[in-house]
Amino acid sequence: MVASAPVRPDHIAARAAALGIAVNLGLTIAKLVGGLVGHSYALVADAVESGFDLFGSLAVWTGVRIADRDATNEYPFGFGKAEALAGASVALLLLLASIGIAVASIYEIRTPHHAPAPWTLGVLAAVIVIKELMARRVRRVAAAEGSTALAADAQHHRSDAITSAAAFLGISVALLGGEGWESADDWAALVAAGIIAWNGFSLLRSAVADLMDRIASPDVVQAIRTAASAVDDVRAIEKLAVRRAGRGYWVDIHVQADARMSLDTAHILSGKVKGAIRSATPQVLGVLVHMEPHTDALPSPTSEPF
């Protein structure tokens, strides 16, 4: 029996993004038709948000595919930041969607209309379950792969589940309240717009941080520092900078060693440091080691004249 080849991490990420595209397409159509036929603007607003989710998932899929390309002479640091760009695009789409939904919700609140049809609650219940399951699945893949873009896509699915829950509550109030409560559905859409805006802002901050080369999370930095410090003949770590690029990291580290060490020995030591770091943190794409003399090993200054 021939064993199947393991699935490459980039294929796992791409598949998760592709599944998001398919799910968002189906739910967008279902919610839009249900909202128009069932007189529910909250459901229509939810469909609009899913439509933006669809474009967001396309951006994530594209970003993941580009980020997985190998480095070239023109792009020696690779294409990892395509993921951060995709995440920023998703965040901007969420912010635009929130503004559009808020404006339309206010208009609907001021305009008398029919109460939503009861069966629209069933549509929303199904959407909530599907979207929450998608959010959890994509979040697991994002955590395993360290993908900023997939994390944004997972948040997209979660925000859709939340907005659908808000729509479910609004329609329920409108149906139970009867005449005079028809606008509860629209108020729910307005609340959903606020939730979408907050999620979009949070995602945008994270994506911009990656694009601006903010230092990696403390646990990643500490793991790299510990690995480098444990190498024999390393006296101290003077500086350590770790920046994120897609699902990987680039490391710039200043290592102090015995000042009397030969250049050849220092070169070998720097290779050991690189190996230790990449072994401890496989997501590291590259390590630049600066070898420096340890201050305690330097000759003590003297006041005697030369």
Residue 141 has phi, psi (to 5 degrees) of -65, -40
7 φ/ψ angles, rounded to the nearest 5 degrees: -80, 125
End of a domain among 194, 211, 228? Answer: 211
Residue 245 CA to residue 149 CA, distance in Å, equals: 11
Q: Which two tokens stand for residue 43?
A: 């459901």
pLDDT at 306: 37
Same domain, 72 and 198: yes
Q: What is the CATH number of the domain that holds 238?
A: 3.30.70.1350
Distance separating alpha carbons of residues 291 and 249, to the nearest angstrom? 20
Q: How far apart are CA 265 and CA 68, in angstroms?
A: 35
Whether residue 19 is found in the same domain as residue 94? yes
Q: Can you give the pLDDT at residue 184?
A: 80
Q: What is the CATH number of the domain that holds 38?
A: 1.20.1510.10
Instruction: Round to whole Å and give the CA distance between 105 and 92.
Output: 20
Please check whether residues 224 and 201 belong to one and the same domain: no
In sequence order, the β-bridge partners of residue 239 are 254
Q: Give the contacts of 146 (CB within 8 A, at least 6 positions apart).
A: 247, 248, 283
Domain limit, last residue, from 185, 211, 237: 211
Specify whether 170 is located in the same domain as 250.
no
pLDDT, tens digit only, all 306 positions of the chain: 434 334 444 567 667 777 777 777 887 788 788 777 877 766 776 777 677 777 777 777 787 778 778 888 888 888 888 888 888 887 887 788 788 878 877 887 787 666 677 887 888 888 888 888 888 888 888 777 767 667 777 777 777 787 788 778 887 887 887 777 767 877 887 887 888 788 788 888 888 888 888 888 888 999 999 999 999 999 999 899 999 887 789 999 999 999 999 999 999 999 999 999 999 998 898 999 999 998 765 444 444 443
The tally of CA atoms less than 13 A away on the side-chain side of residue 209 is 13
Q: Where does a domain end: 211, 226, 247?
A: 211
Q: How many structural domains compose the chain?
A: 2
Residues 231 and 202 in one domain: no
> Are residues 174 and 187 in contact, defined by beta-carbon separation less than 8 angstroms?
no
Residue whose entry in the numeric block shows the structure tokens 């739910």: 27
Q: Are residues 78 and 159 in the same domain?
A: yes
* pLDDT value for 5: 38
Instruction: Give whole-number Cα distances, 283 to 37, 52, 149, 292, in Å.
Output: 49, 31, 16, 26
182-to-38, 113, 134, 189 alpha-carbon distances in Å: 13, 7, 31, 12
pTM of the model: 0.65
The answer to whether 254 and 239 have CB atoms below 8 angstroms apart is yes
Residue 61 to residue 53: CA distance in whole angstroms: 12
Residue-level pLDDT at 11: 63
pLDDT of residue 124: 82
Which secondary-structure segment (H or E) carries 201? helix 184-211
**Predicted pLDDT of residue 41:** 65
Q: List the beta bridge partners of residue 290.
A: 254
- 279 is in which domain, residue-wise? 218-297
Evaluate whether 136 touches 238 at the Cβ level (below 8 Å): no
Token pair in block for residue 99: 């503004």
**Which residues fall within 8 angstroms of residue 290, CB to CB, at 6 or more apart?**
239, 252, 253, 254, 255
Which pLDDT score, from 0 to 100, does residue 303 have?
A: 41
Write the CA distances from 46 to 26, 80, 92, 197, integer angstroms. Answer: 13, 32, 17, 14
The answer to whether residues 201 and 265 belong to one domain is no
Indicate whether 166 and 233 sit together in one domain. Answer: no
Q: Are residues 202 and 224 in the same domain?
A: no
> Which pLDDT score is estimated for 114?
66
Strands (E) located in the chain: 236-245, 248-257, 284-293
- Whole-number CA gyration radius for the chain: 26
Tokens of 198: 């907050």
